[in-house]
Chain A
Amino acid sequence: MVEPVTGELPGLLRRLANPPPLVRELGAMPLGAVLTRAVRDLARRRPEIFSRLNEHRTRSFVIAPTDLGLSFRMVPNGVRATVAVSARGQFEGDVHVRGPILALLGLLDGTLDGDALFFDRTIAVSGRTDALLALRNAIEDAELKPSDLLGLSGGLGRVADFRVPKVLSKLRRMAGMPLDEVTP
């Protein structure tokens, strides 16, 4: 029995997030298509986020949550963005980011500070530091809300923006993530 790394998903959730290999593999392809569409929608609504990436929008970012049975490869090229999902093996890419899924989600919506997570080793990065920095700064400025990421509008979007951060925050506490959250 391996002790879970601090900040990783607690037991039951961890099992839910790691279904048997066959289920994972079957789910990977459609999930990739859904995420690709979500990122492209975001690029149509908020093009300025992607223009901030400059030449780094054609780089590939591999994101590997250590406590999830999936890894992701994103090329954030605006309306031509792609996201691929894999249930096994490693993606090749220009930038690799590894860490607990709750920390990675915290980066996405700006709840957590990327520098702090990296320097205290909660997340590990390798590859092109300049591309990673560009992505980090673009996300930092984007002030993404759950509704932006899920492509929700209207009442549903407002519910998501209210509920999702609370749920994530609660999960982070359950996971014992030793980090102060940024409260802008």
Chain B
Amino acid sequence: MPQVRLTLGPVLFNWSAERLIAFYRGIAASGVFDRVHIGEVVCGKRMPFSDPVWPDAIELLEEAGIEVVLSTLALPGTVRERKSIAEICGDARMVEINDLTALPGRAGRPFVAGPFVNIYNEGTAAFFAARGATTLCLPVELTLASASAIAAACPDVETEIFAFGRLPLALSSRCYHARLHGLHKDSCQFVCEKDPDGVAVDTLEGRPFLAANGIQTLSHGVQAWLPTEPEALNTGVRRLRLSPQAAIDMASVGKVYRAVLDGAMTRTEALRQLSAMELPGELVDGYPRGVPGCTIAAPA
């Protein structure tokens, strides 16, 4: 068993039921990830469409020996959304909480604290650990130095870093996809399904900058933090989260990360291989290095 493991994060975008099931079928067959998150995290309005998919996806993944984590909404509001969180928190499987709303219903049993939970220091990390957190996927803007201070103070908890994919930067009660199409959120016609990697947001000078995904704002750049296993372990990082993007084969991305972790591929070669894929944006890795998140990932 490798010491640093790969997690496939939840799909953040509005994918059709067909796309989701085909995606998880491919992931189950690939054998690259030992833990896979499923569930809607961004928008409760998408749940009636994706909910029927999850039992089949769970079955596919668990039959392949993969641990399934049920992720919960990051910005719950309605009674229906809160009920769904309460239901998920009662599940015997591993659950990821992405808002404090889920904590009272899950405290005392094991859970993953997702990147939407504000764990910025070892005091907060220890607080969650004492209530059942076994994995902390830290907020995307934290530096490795902070991650390392947290990992050192909480050795029994796995520290996870958001290592691949467009970075989830912000949430709003306003839907930018709806606003973009001149619609209200309440009658949004689910226009976000047109952009399975989010829609690019450029500056007035045409420079790629951000991406909108319903109520969520992501980076335009695609995070590519590619440590070797000793590098990850030195900072106490024991899991890397790879976040699904639509236009590329996530199993291939996972294989590149595994090869770098194992010392079988150089970072330079990994960046070259990733860049050759149909990524929605340029590769960035500023946050872990303590510089602006948009900083281009340069070969070592």
The answer to whether A and B touch in the complex, with CB atoms under 8 Å apart, is no
Using CB atoms and an 8 Å cutoff, list the residues of chain A in contact with chain B. none
